[in-house]
Structure 1
Amino acid sequence: MAHLLVENPSSSSSNNQQITSASSCHWALKSCTLTDPKVIALVCFEQSNYAVHLHPEDKRGYRSIVRLINNDQIFSTINRDYTSVERIGLALTMTLVTEAYNHIVPIAQNAATGNNARLLDPKTVTIQLGIKQEPIFLHGHVFGCGDPERKYIDDVQLDGPILGTLFNMNTSSPHESDHDKKVFWKSEEINKVVRRLETEIENIHHAYKIHGLTIITRNTFFNIYIVRHGETDWNTQTRLQGHTDIALSEKGRLQACQLQEKFAGIHFSKVFSSDLIRARSTAELILGSNKSTIIETPLLRERCLGTWEGRFAGELKSHLEQTIDVDNFTQEEYLSFKWDDTAESYSDAYQRLQTFIRSIAFSTPISDDPILLCSHGDTFVCYDISKSKCTYPNERIYWSYKQVKCLHYIKYKTNRINYSNLLLIQFSNSQHLKITISFDDNFWSFIFSVHRLTTLEAILDENYSHYQLITLWKLSPYLYSLRSF
């Protein structure tokens, strides 16, 4: 029997009990099918056939049994180090558990008798994950990254929750000296398990609809095309537009028509546009004869520039240089700065855009077709720089751009589980333009301002915790490319 390290609820986190012979009636030892009505949440990853099982009988709701099964590569983590892929799997699982206990448990269970009732926030209907004395951990072992035809060390039966020790994100897995039994696993047997899981998960998915709850059963990735509106006369004059409703120029309309040719053959499941006329007109011209309905929203508006709208960008730049030492702002100060009370800060614009991204990530019905967003240049600058990772004092990642008299598009990939992390596929693509214009191909570029000796690589390494490892893994080619800027 595997050792199960549990914490006595009445003691502090430093007082742990090592249980070597648990009672057979302990909930962690009971066989639990995925159709059990007590199950809190299930997630099946379509591409890798991982299944995550959160057991509800742990009354401290942030501690759960988690099972990961991969139908191609089965190899126990007992008595060996975690591989980098498995650590990524753990990070993804931790994210899923966080999401589940923030959004699923409060709905599916009664706050008076359910998990973590004392930590339930009735205003937000969310549950606090862990406390200072008892941080978040997961129980179990990970199965992944191995050869199913080779021998591996057995842990427990597949039909029950995996019994293990407290998970952490260290490089080494818990060592279980008394697990030396070696068995064979056949890939077809695992395939049967996975197929059964998928069926049972779908049954639970329907059962939870009565709570008005959507359980994600597919880790569906979908593309988001983000389009900046075409040129306006104020763009040409370098005037600050913000929320001022300026129409497209003739050149701007032609640019949008050229992007329509670029997108020929792409069917967008949904099309969203800022409610400002320059963005709405761009979306209409891109769609052409396509009858997709355009959904207007103020959440995609340009950042409000307050009393400076209509004035020249150079005037604002000179004003800031003379009155404010922006170059010595920290990242937090830079993002929250606004030159008057009527303007939006980068953080303000980020918050409304984040609200919008969350809404489309959980929109129904689920479709694999891409989504088109027609917005403004500064809006998505706000999104990217607000998610920049800076921890050292007096440093900042910010954007600098030349006024560009053209339309461009950005392509992101995201998924419905970790919706807040967008994978950058293409950036500043203006190849569709046939008008001869003069502009810098990297008109939006990272400028890294540091007032102490450090590097971008060090910043990234410091900031990506285990919650974000999955994002770091997916984004690594792009992160490395940033270092050459």
Structure 2
Amino acid sequence: MGDFEVLTIYLTRHGETEWNVENRIQGSKDSELTTNGIRDAKLLSKKLSDINFRKIYTSSSKRAVTTANILKNNSFIPIIEEDALKEINFGDWEGKTKIEINERFENEFESLWTSPHLYDHIPHRAESLNDLRERVGHVIQNIVSSNQEGNILIVTHAVVLATIIADLNQSPIEKLWDIPYVHGTSLTIIHFDDNKNLEFKILCDTSHLD
């Protein structure tokens, strides 16, 4: 990271999608935002309306890009699409319901959410959590090092957000889910001071949806 004065990163998850409602795993695949997802993104946009963002970084998945454009709210903030911010690739699980996945991969599916350090990605040809952490770690480091100060907004996905938080906290993978639920359009704010120390100001906050 280069020297900077004060940098604040705002992180959010995309709004609710059709596959979220259908309990389908998305990963690298995509589905449209629902009416509720669009509404929630607009509510977050209103909450952030007084923040002067220098840039918006977003996953290149359509659901995240759509959310980013709602948050941009017709401003001139540049939106930068990053493939490295895409959700973990769930392989053969993608597009299937959680019930369908449990019928064939009960142990793997349960371990992902309850014992992530034991999660086996190989049977369903998916991305590993270690590979995801490396991918996400690189892109966050690049974002921080290329922005010396100001406010940056990142729009991404649930497992990616949990991974970013764990990585910045230097937490092991088994602690991946030791955070509040990553709700669609929830807001996490991380403050970096001039000595490159970081502080989580809020974590997975949904007060704008109340």
When normalised by structure 2's length, the TM-score is 0.84
SS at match of 1:424: strand
CA distance in 2, matches of 1:243, 1:357: 19
**What secondary structure is seen at the aligned counterpart in 1 of 2:203?**
strand
Q: How high is the sequence identity, in percent, across the aligned residues?
A: 27
The residue identity in structure 2 corresponding to 1:263 is L
Q: Which ranges of structure 1 fall in alignment gaps of 5 or more residues?
A: 1-98, 100-214, 391-395, 435-485
Q: How far did residue 319 of structure 1 move? A: 4.0
2:76 maps to 1:300? no
Q: What is the CA-CA distance between 1:417 and the residue it aligns to?
A: 5.7
Could you tell me which residue of structure 1 aligns to residue 134 of structure 2?
A: 351
Residues 57 and 80 of structure 2 are in contact (CA less than 8 Å); yes or no, is this contact kept in structure 1?
Answer: yes
> Counterpart in 2 of 1:338?
121
SS at match of 2:39: helix
TM-aligned CA deviation for residue 257 of structure 1: 0.8
Structure 1 position 422, deviation (Å): 4.5
- In structure 2, do the counterparts of structure 1 residues 406 and 362 end up closer, same or farther at CA, with 3 Å as the change threshold? closer
For 1:242 and 1:230, how far apart are their aligned partners in 2? 14
Partners of 2:176 and 2:104 lie apart in 1 by 19
The alpha-carbon deviation at position 289 of structure 1 amounts to 2.2
Distance 1:322 1:351, change over 3 A: closer
More helix by share: 2
User: Residue 228 of structure 1 is aligned with which of 13, 27, 31?
Assistant: 13
In 2, the alpha carbon distance for the partners of 1:428 and 1:339 equals 30
* Structure 2 residues without counterparts, runs of 5 or longer: none
Which residue of 1 is the match for residue 96 of structure 2?
Answer: 311
In the alignment, the residues of structure 2 paired with residue 252 and residue 294 of structure 1 have an alpha-carbon distance, to the nearest angstrom, of 20
Pick the aligned partner of 2:175 from 372, 397, 402.
Answer: 397
Name the SS for the 1:244 alignment partner. Answer: coil
What does 1:84-483 correspond to in 2, within 5 Å?
216=3, 218=4, 220-317=5-102, 319-322=104-107, 326=111, 333-334=117-118, 337-340=120-123, 342-363=125-146, 366-367=148-149, 369-385=150-166, 387-389=170-172, 396-399=174-177, 406-415=184-193, 418=196, 422-434=198-210
Amino acid at match of 2:51: I
Cα distance in 2 for partners of 1:252, 1:241 equals 15
Per-residue deviation at 1:287? Answer: 1.4
8 Å contact from structure 1 (residues 227, 374) kept in 2: yes
CA distance in structure 2 between the aligned counterparts of 1:429 and 1:287, rounded to whole angstroms? 19
Distance 2:86 2:42 in 1: 21
Alignment partner of 1:399: what SS? coil
In 2, the alpha carbon distance for the partners of 1:330 and 1:343 equals: 17
Listed one character per residue, the Cα deviations across residues 21-72 of structure 1 (whole Å, up to 9, x for unaligned) are xxxxxxxxxxxxxxxxxxxxxxxxxxxxxxxxxxxxxxxxxxxxxxxxxxxx
Q: What is the CA–CA distance in structure 1 between the aligned matches of 2:109 and 2:69, rounded to whole Å?
A: 41
Q: Which amino acid aligns with 1:410?
A: T
Count, aligned residues = 207
**What is the rounded CA distance, in whole Å, between the counterparts of 1:316 and 1:400 in structure 2?**
24
Q: CA deviation at 1:318?
A: 5.2
- Aligned residues of 2:102 and 2:109 also touching (Cα < 8 A): no
How far the C-alpha of 1:399 sits from its partner, in A, is 1.8
In 1, the alpha carbon distance for the partners of 2:40 and 2:188 equals: 15
- For the aligned residue pairs, the C-alpha RMSD in angstroms reads 3.1
